Structure formats: C-alpha cells, structure tokens
Structure 1
Amino acid sequence: MKPYVICHMMSSLDGHALTDGWERPFKQAAGELYETLAEGFGFDAWACGRVTMQEIAHDEGYPSGLARAPIPRENHWAVREAKAYAVSIDPQGKVGWKQNTALGAHIVEVLTEQVSDDYLAHLQQLGISYLFAGARELDLAQVLETLHRELGIQRLVVEGGPHVSGRFVQAGLVDEVSVLLLPLIDGRGAHPASFEMEEGRWQAPAYLKLASAEVQSGGAVWLRYTPR
C-alpha cells in the first residue's frame, strides 16, 4: 500500500513555478495562500526535491571524513512517531542539513546506494532518518510503500520542484493534483514549467479531470484535479 498523494503546486498563468523575479509583496501573499491551502489537506508528510530542500536547510555543505568504516546501505529510522515528516528526495545525498527537522517536521532522506559513507554518517550524527530506493535511480513507488509501511504515513503532499512533481505524476502515483493559479504571466521561456520531466523520461501526457475550481483572494484560482 501507499499513502494518498497530493501534488500541490503554485503557478503563473503561463505555467511557471519559480518565484524569483516576482514582486516581493505578490510573492509573499501567494506563498502564504499556498501554505494555507496546503494545511487543509490534513497531511502527515510533505516531500520536496534536493534544490528546494537545500534552500530550506540553508545548505552550507556537510563535513568530510566522518565515516570511519563503510556503512551498510540499509534503511535507518531515527524517529518513528513524529507528528509530521519532511521527505527529502535527494538521490545522491547532497543536502547539508544542520538539524533533524525541517519546518517542524522530522527529516527523512530518500537516497540511492550511490550516496557517500560520509553523508550517511552525517545523517546519523544529526539523528536524521533515511531510506534507500534504488541502486542508481529512485523507485518512487518503493519510496511510497516504505513510508507507508515503516512510518504509517497516510497522506503525502508533494511540493516540488518541477522535476520531482513531474516524476510522481508520470509514474502514476498521484491521487490528486492541486494548482494555485496566480494572476501573472511570467514570460521567461527558459524558466522550468510547473511539471518537468528529465530528457528521455517523458512517456505520455497525464490526463486529468477537474474536481473543483475556487476563486481565491487577490485574483488567484485554486484548481483541483484527479486522474482521468
């Protein structure tokens, strides 16, 4: 079994999710509305990719030379009864955490076996949980099954970035797509779309059906979809 997965995104009218370059008051109001809507999902875990997690961690790297011997590639649970979990999709093990919580949630690093022993030692030293889901590439279905089985996670909100969200959708693992559509056109063609797939991974469009549409403050529209 797996948790109920909600992919929750914030997007400009032309499909961009990165907020750099947006006016600060607009960006702040949009972010606050986005988080308020997310709270209504009643989730017990949220997931983000490496880049987003490095921003949350204020990443400055991690020490080298911590591992005195090879560390087995086995799942490690530092905490099993947290009120909430922050799931870091970090295949190579690069996020330089300073503590074992992110925004009040216990951190669970999702890794491949390519991670370094020093990084595993760093996580153990901080009391951070981690799990393995592949030798070289992540099996997201395995990730969800492990989170449900080992930690009892029932509802997981995937909050990006675009590549992480795209992979969950393309893998057919998302039960609901939530998009806060904002009243602006970004216009930067090189900016990633809200959902991105790595080159060579695209399979077919993911068709959805509209579940609800609600006008929000400031002219935003909250759209919720389920798989068709």
Structure 2
Amino acid sequence: MKPYIICHMMSSIDGHALTDGWDRAFKKNAGELYEKLAEQFKFDAWLCGRVTMQEIAHGEGYAKGLAQGPIPREHYFAERNADKYAISIDPHGKVEWKSNQALDSHVVQVLAEGVSDDYLAYLQSIQVSYVFGGKSEIDLGLVVELLARELGIERLCVEGGPLVSGSFVNAGLVDEVSVVILPLVDGRGAHPASFEVPEQAWQQPAYLSLVSAEVQDGGAVWLRYKKP
C-alpha cells in the first residue's frame, strides 16, 4: 500500500519552474504562497530531489573515514515516530546534512546501494535515517510503499524539482497534481518545465481532471487536478 501522493509545484505562466533570475521580492512572496497552500494538504512527509535538498542542507562537507568496514545495505531508521518526515531522493549520497532535521522534519535519505560506506557511516553519526531504493537506480514505487510500511506515512507531498516531480507522474504514482501559476512570463526556453522526464524513460501523457481553480492574492492561480 502506498501513501496518497500530491505533487505540488509552482511555475511561471510559460511553465518554467526554476526561480533564479526572478525579482527577489517576487520570489519571496511566491515561496510564501506556495508553502501556505501546501499546508492545506496536511501531509506527514514531503519529498524533494538532491538539488533542492542541497540548498536546504547548506552542507559544508562531511568527515571521511568514519566507516570501520563494509556496512550492510540495510534500511536504517533513526526515528520512526516523527511528526513529519523530509524525504530526500539522493541516489549517490551527495547531500551533506548538518543535522537530522530539515524544516522541522526528520530527514530520510533515499539511496542506491552503490553509495559509499563512508557516507552511510556519516548519516548514522548524525542520526539521519536512510533507505535503499535500488542497486543503481531508484524504484519510486518500491520507495513509497516502503515509507508507508515502515514509517506509517499516509500523505506524501512531492515538491520537486522538475525531474523528481516528472518521474513520479510518469510512474503513475501521483494521486493529485497541484500547480501554482505565478503572474510572470519567464521566457527562457532552456529552463526546465515544471515536470521533466528523460526521453528514454517517458511512458505516455498523464491525463487529469480539474478539481479546482482559485485566484490568489497577487494574481497567482492555484490549479488542482486528480486522475479521472
């Protein structure tokens, strides 16, 4: 059994999700609106990819040589009763956490089995939980079922970036899509869309039904969709 999964994104009118280059005050207001709307989903876990989590972690490296020998590739749970979990998709173990908390949520790293023993020892030393999602690539379906079974997660909010969000939708795991359309045109063609999938992994379009459309203060529009 998997959690109920909401994919919550924000983008410009032309569908771009990265905020670099946007006016600082505009970006701040957009971020506050995005987080306020996300709270309405009452989720018990939120999930981001490596790039986003690196920005949150503000890592400065980690001590090498902590592993005293090979560490079994077994799931490690430092906390099973957290009020909220921060799920980090990081196959190769690159996010450098300073503690086991991210935005008042207990961190759970999702890793591939090829990650180094030193990285696992480092996570254990700061009590960051971790699970293995595959040998070299992450099986998202397996991961979400594992999170539900082991940690009791019932509602999971996927918050990007574009590749992570696109991968969840492409895998057919998302129950609801939420997009905050902001009142600006980005115009940079090379910038990622809100949902990105590697061409070789693309399955088929995801057809959705509109649930609601709400105009927000400042001119943004909040769109919510579910599977038909």
TM-score by length of 2: 0.99
Tell me the distance in 2 between the aligned counterparts of 1:128 and 1:199: 33
Tell me the distance in 1 between the aligned counterparts of 2:61 and 2:190: 28
Letter matched to residue 121 of structure 2: A
Tell me the distance in 1 between the aligned counterparts of 2:94 and 2:60: 10
Tell me the distance in 2 between the aligned counterparts of 1:36 and 1:133: 31
The superposition leaves residues 14-57 of structure 1 with CA deviations (integer Å, 9 ceiling, x where unpaired) of: 10111111111111111000000001100000000000000000
Partner of 2:131: 131
Gaps of 5+ in 2: none
Following superposition, the deviation at residue 162 of structure 1 comes to 0.3
Following superposition, the deviation at residue 11 of structure 1 comes to 0.5
Partner of 1:7: 7
Tell me the distance in 1 between the aligned counterparts of 2:61 and 2:169: 30
Where do 1:82-93 residues align within 5 Å?
82-93=82-93
Where do 1:146-161 residues align within 5 Å?
146-161=146-161
User: What is the RMSD computed on CA atoms of the aligned residues?
Assistant: 0.7
Partner of 1:213: 213
Tell me the distance in 2 between the aligned counterparts of 1:195 and 1:142: 21
Following superposition, the deviation at residue 130 of structure 1 comes to 0.4
The superposition leaves residues 72-112 of structure 1 with CA deviations (integer Å, 9 ceiling, x where unpaired) of: 00000000000000000001111000100000000000011
| Matching of residue 191 in structure 1 with residue 191 in structure 2 | yes
Where do 1:21-170 residues align within 5 Å?
21-170=21-170
Letter matched to residue 24 of structure 1: R
Q: Which SS does the other structure have where 1:217 is aligned?
A: coil
Q: Which SS does the other structure have where 2:41 is aligned?
A: coil
Gaps of 5+ in 1: none
Identity %: 71
Q: Which SS does the other structure have where 2:72 is aligned?
A: coil
Letter matched to residue 182 of structure 2: L
Letter matched to residue 198 of structure 1: P
Letter matched to residue 222 of structure 1: W
Tell me the distance in 1 between the aligned counterparts of 2:90 and 2:127: 17
Q: Which SS does the other structure have where 1:34 is aligned?
A: helix
Partner of 1:16: 16
Tell me the distance in 1 between the aligned counterparts of 2:87 and 2:9: 16
Aligned length: 228
TM-score by length of 1: 0.99
Tell me the distance in 2 between the aligned counterparts of 1:199 and 1:136: 19
Tell me the distance in 1 between the aligned counterparts of 2:149 and 2:61: 31
Following superposition, the deviation at residue 61 of structure 1 comes to 2.3
Letter matched to residue 76 of structure 1: Y
Letter matched to residue 187 of structure 2: G
Q: Which SS does the other structure have where 1:69 is aligned?
A: coil
Partner of 1:179: 179
The runs of at least 4 consecutive aligned structure 1 residues that moved more than 6 Å come to none
Following superposition, the deviation at residue 199 of structure 1 comes to 3.4
